[in-house]
Chain A
Amino acid sequence: MAAAGGEGPERDSDGAGEELELTPAQLIRSLEQAWLNEKFAPELLESKPEIIECVVEQLDHMEANLKRAKGGDLKVSVHRMEIERIRYVLSSYLRCRLVKIEKFFPHVLEKEKSRAEGEPSILSPEEFAFAKEYMANTETYLKNVGLKHMPPNLQKVSLLKSVPKPNLDSFVFLRVLERQENILVEPEFDEQRDYTIDLEEGSQHLIRYKVVAPLVASGAVQLI
C-alpha cells in the first residue's frame, strides 16, 4: 500500500516559526474560530496572518503530497475532501473580511492610521493595499461622475463622515470559552441601572457587541 498516500506533516512543524506553536489540528480549530468570529462581529477584527500563512502552508504541503501519491485511491480522496473543507473555511473567512473592508473602508483605514505602535493590525499588508486602492478608486469615481460638476465650494466630500460606521451596539450571540467575572451590562435607558453578570464557561449569551469586544479579541468568548 502506497505510504505516500497522504503522509501528514509532523505534529510540531509550523514553518512560520512565530511564537505560535500549534499542532495542525489546533491550527484548523483556530481558523474556524476566527472564521465564526469574523462572520458575526459587526466590525473588522484583527487580522491573523500567522494562522492564514500556516493554513496555506499545510494545504500546499498536502497538495504536493497528494500529487506524488501513486495508489491508494481512497486515501487520496479522503485527503482531498478534507482539503476542500479547509479551503472553504479559509476562503469564506477572507471573503467576509473583504466585504467588511469594502463596507467600512474609510473607518478601517483611519483606524489603521491611528493605530499605536505595539497594537496588532486589523489589516494584512495585502488587505491594506486593497483598502487604499478601493478608497482611491471611489474618490476618483465620485469626482469624475459627480463632484467635478458641482459648484466649486461643494466639491469636497468627507468619506469618513458619509460612509456609515460599523454599529458596535448590535447584538451578538456568543459562547463562553474562559470564565469571566463582572462584565458590566449597560442598559439603554437611564432608569435601568447597570448590572454586572458573570460569564460561566460553556454558557451561551445574547448581548451587545460593544460589551464583549475585548473578550472576542482575546479569545475568551466565541461568537456563534
Chain B
Amino acid sequence: MEPAEVEFLAEKELVTIVPNFSLDRIHLIGGDLGPFNPGLPVEVPVWLAISLKQRQKCRVIAPEWMDVGKLEEIRDQERKEDTFTRMPSPYYMELTKLLLNYASDNIPKADEIRTLVKDTWDTRIAKLRLSADSFVRQQEVHAKLDNLTLMEINTTGTFLTQALDHMYKLRTNLQPGETAHSQDF
C-alpha cells in the first residue's frame, strides 16, 4: 500500500475546526456535517478541514493529544518499554504531518511537536525492525502486533510479506514431495 493511501484513510479521522462562515447541515453520503456557524467549533473529517483551511475559511484546533507534555510522556514511555505503547490516535503520524503542514499557525509549539512525534516514530520503527528480524530468524508463523499503527505496519509490510513468501517457497522446495511442481517432460 502506498503511504499516500494510508494518508487517504487517515483523512477520514475527525478534527475540530472553528469556521468563519455559516452553512447549514450538509448531508454527505458518508454522514452529516455541520451546521457551520462562525466562531462555533464543529467536527469535520481531516480532508475537509485541510481544504477549508487552505481557502482560509476556518481555524483548526489541535487534537488534545497533540500537546508537548503528552507527547513527551509518550516518547519516554516508548523508549522505556520493549513493547509498543498504545498511541493516542491510530493515525498519529499522518495527522501530525497534515495538520503541521497546513495549519501550523493554529497549533502551539508546532516545531517541538514535530520533533517529539518524529522521535517516537523512530523508536517504534526501530522496535518493529528488531521484532521483524526475530520473527524471521525463529521462523514463526504468527505474530501479534496490537498498538502498531497502519503507517508503521505499511513501512515494512510489503517487503516483509514478500520476503517471507520467498523464504517459504525456498524452504518447502528443500523437501520435495508430491507438492513439488517440477516439470516432467
Measured CB to CB, the residues of A under 8 A from B are 1, 5-9, 24-25, 27-28, 32, 39-40, 58-59, 62, 72, 74-75, 77-79, 81-83, 85-86, 88, 167, 169-173, 185-189, 197, 202-208, 224
Contact = CB atoms under 8 A, between A and B. Distances in A.
Contacts of A8: 27-29, 32
B105 interface: no
B165 A167 contact: yes
A194 B150 CA distance: 29
A204 B141 contact: no
Nearest to B165: A170
A83 B146 CA distance: 33
Contact of B26 (A78, A187, A207): A78
Interface of B: 1, 8-9, 21, 23-24, 26-33, 47-48, 51, 57, 135, 139, 141-146, 148, 150, 153, 157, 160-161, 164-165, 168-169, 171-172
Contacts of A85: 8, 47
Given A170-B161, A173-B157, A207-B141, 7 more contacts: A6-B28, A25-B31, A27-B29, A39-B1, A75-B23, A188-B171, A206-B142
Contacts of A32: 9
Nearest to B157: A173
Given A74-B23, A169-B165, A224-B150, A206 B135 contact: yes
Contacts of A5: 26
A5 B57 CA distance: 19
12 contacts: A8-B27, A75-B26, A78-B26, A86-B29, A169-B168, A170-B168, A171-B164, A173-B145, A173-B157, A197-B142, A206-B135, A207-B143
B168 A79 contact: no
A197 B140 CA distance: 13
Contacts of B148: 204
Contacts of B157: 173
A29 B174 CA distance: 44
Contacts of B1: 39-40
Interface centre among A9, A83, A169 (most CB of B within 10 A): A169
A70 B91 CA distance: 37
Given A170-B165, A173-B145, A186-B141, A74 B21 contact: yes
Given A204-B146, A206-B135, A173 B24 contact: no
Nearest to A8: B27
B29 A170 contact: no
A207 B142 contact: yes
Contacts of B146: 202-204
Contacts of B161: 170-173
Given A81-B51, A204-B148, A62 B29 contact: yes
A85 B23 CA distance: 22
A82 B141 contact: no
B141 A185 contact: yes
A27 B29 CA distance: 9
B161 to A, nearest CB: 5
Given A6-B27, A8-B28, A171-B161, A81 B47 contact: yes
Contact of B30 (A39, A82, A171): A82
A133 to B, nearest CB: 28
A224 B5 CA distance: 12
Contacts of A72: 23
A206 B161 CA distance: 9
A24 B171 CA distance: 47
Contacts of A86: 29-30
Given A1-B24, A187-B141, A82 B168 contact: no
Given A25-B31, A204-B145, A206-B135, A6 B26 contact: yes
B160 A79 contact: no
